[in-house]
């Protein structure tokens, strides 16, 4: 299974790690230490050295309760970082955005993957993605970041998320995005209760059974706070357990803040997954 990322072909015959590079002052897990583009570059290169195949650059937090940022502010944060990463390494650069203009500018600056937690539902987003040749990650979210955790509801969460993701993949194909450019993400923590998240993880095989590679983001999320009673800074062991389970369930890309440890967990899980 390959993912075509604007001139780069990402080999997903083995699962890979996507390192999280937040370029936000209010990021939920690193206190916004990476606003300076040179510092962000160094952090990105450190993640590549730790084994990340993809660096996910984000200038707007989408964690529960987060406030939106302006277009100009988001561009000012992410574009200098993407340009620097592009010239300094050959990892795939991902842009974590919901805004069509940011998608276009980021791809022009060297991004090979558009990671959109809205699944390209914003006005003009499908067209922005289709205009280039970057890959797209289509994520499921119920509601919007500011309010999505207030009352999430599903009758059958796995069935509903699966149907949504297939519909978004169809919408991409309809605007000319090749199937080799599409990956899917169930959106852990995005309008989901603890039970919804656990049902999705337990049912991941069903989502991974289709033609598109699956990306998962579970790193440090509040389901671990609920399960373990741990603060966000003490969730690495739980996150590694979740990454392991996700790979056993067929995930091909694991998004993480802790690349070195996650890359170990992913390779161990894959060694077992390959035998069954």
Of 99, 181, 221, 252, the catalytic one is 221
Cβ–Cβ under 8 Å, residues 245 and 223:
no
Interface residue with ligand PT1, options 77, 84, 104, 221 (CB under 6 A)? 221
Quote the least distance from Cβ 75 to ligand PT1, whole Å.
18
One of 40, 139, 201, 242 touching ligand PT1 (CB under 6 A): 139
The closest of 88, 86, 26 to 61, measured between CA atoms, is: 26
Q: Is 96 in the site for ligand PT1 (CB under 6 A)?
A: yes
SS3 171: helix
Q: Scanning the structure block, which residue is given the tokens 């940022």?
A: 69
Q: How many angstroms separate the CA atoms of 273 and 28, rounded?
A: 32
Give me the 44-83 binding string for ligand PT1, x by CB under 6 A, dash otherwise: ------------------xxx-------------------
In the numeric block, which tokens belong to residue 106?
Answer: 């980021």
Which of 226, 215, 149 lies closest to 15 in space, CA to CA? Answer: 215
Minimum Å gap between C-beta 222 and ligand PT1 is 3
Q: Establish whether 192 is a catalytic residue.
A: no
Segment contacting ligand PT1 by CB under 6 A, of 45-53, 76-84, 105-113, 188-196 = 188-196
3 state DSSP class of 184: strand
Choice between 67 and 274, CB closer to ligand PT1: 67
Q: Is 136 in the site for ligand PT1 (CB under 6 A)?
A: no
Q: How are beta strands 16-22 and 54-58 bridged, if at all? A: parallel
CA separation for the pair 77, 39 (Å, rounded) = 12
Query: Does residue number 185 form part of the binding site for ligand PT1 (CB under 6 A)?
Result: yes
Active site residue 99: no
Task: Report the distance separating Cα 167 and Cα 14, nearest Å.
Answer: 26
**Looking at beta carbons only, is 24 or 75 nearer to ligand PT1?**
24
CA distances from 228 to 2, 65, 232 (A): 36, 21, 11
CA distances for 79 relative to 85, 117, 186, angstroms: 10, 19, 27
The distance of closest approach from Cβ of residue 217 to ligand PT1 in the complex, given in angstroms and rounded to an integer, is 2
Residue with the shortest CB distance to ligand PT1: 217
Question: Could you say whether residue 189 binds ligand PT1 (CB under 6 A)?
Answer: yes
Q: How far is the CB of 62 from ligand PT1 (least distance, A)?
A: 5
**Minimum CB–partner distance for residue 223 and ligand PT1 (Å):** 6
Residues in the chain: 276
Q: Which residues bind ligand PT1 (CB under 6 A)?
A: 28, 62-64, 96, 115, 117, 137, 139, 185, 187-190, 215, 217, 221-222, 255
Active site members: 221, 255
């Amino acid at each position: 299974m390959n993912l075509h990322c604007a001139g780069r072909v990402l080999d997903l015959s083995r699962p890979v790690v996507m390192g999280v590079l937040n370029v936000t002052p209010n990021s939920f897990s690193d206190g916004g230490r990476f606003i300076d583009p040179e510092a962000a570059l160094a952090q990105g290169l450190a993640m590549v050295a730790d084994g990340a195949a993809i660096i996910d650059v984000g200038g707007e937090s989408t964690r529960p309760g987060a406030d939106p940022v302006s277009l100009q502010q988001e561009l000012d944060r992410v574009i200098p970082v993407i340009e620097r990463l592009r010239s300094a390494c050959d990892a795939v650069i991902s842009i974590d955005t919901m805004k069509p203009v940011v998608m276009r500018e980021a791809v022009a600056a060297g991004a090979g993957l558009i990671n959109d937690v809205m699944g390209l539902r914003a006005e003009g987003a499908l067209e922005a993605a289709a205009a280039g040749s970057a890959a797209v990650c289509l994520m499921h979210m119920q509601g919007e970041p500011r309010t999505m955790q207030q009352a999430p509801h599903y009758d059958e969460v796995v069935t509903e998320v699966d149907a949504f993701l297939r519909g978004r993949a169809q919408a991409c194909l309809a605007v000319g995005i090749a199937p080799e450019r599409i990956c899917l993400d169930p959106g852990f923590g995005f309008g989901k209760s603890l039970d919804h998240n656990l049902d999705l993880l337990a049912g991941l095989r069903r989502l991974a059974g289709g033609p598109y590679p699956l990306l998962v983001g579970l790193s440090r999320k509040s389901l671990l706070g609920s399960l373990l009673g741990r603060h966000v800074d003490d969730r690495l062991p739980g996150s590694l357990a979740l990454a392991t389970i996700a790979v056993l369930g067929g995930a091909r890309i694991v998004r993480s803040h802790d690349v070195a440890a996650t890359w170990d967990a992913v390779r161990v899980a894959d060694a077992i997954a390959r035998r069954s």
